[in-house]
Amino acid sequence: MHLDGTPVKSCTTLAVMCDGHAIDTVESLEKDGVLDPVQQGFHELHALHCGFCTPGMLMTSRALLNENPTPTDHEIRTAISGSICRCTGYKNIVSAVQWAAAHEAGARGEA
Q: For each of the domains in the chain, give its residue range(s) and CATH number, in order of start.
A: 31-107 (1.10.150.120)
Q: What is the pLDDT at residue 111?
A: 61
Give the pTM.
Answer: 0.90
> Using CA atoms, how far apart are residues 60 and 75, in angstroms rounded to an integer?
12
- Cα 33 to Cα 28, 67, 77, 98: the distances in Å are 11, 24, 29, 22
Choose the weakest-confidence range: 14-23, 47-56, 62-71: 47-56
Residue 31, pLDDT > 80, answer yes
Decide: residue 55, CB within 10 A, 0-12 exposed, 13-18 middle, 19+ buried. Answer: middle
CB-CB contact of 41 with 99 (8 Å) = yes
Over residues 87-98, the pLDDT tens digits come to 888 999 999 999
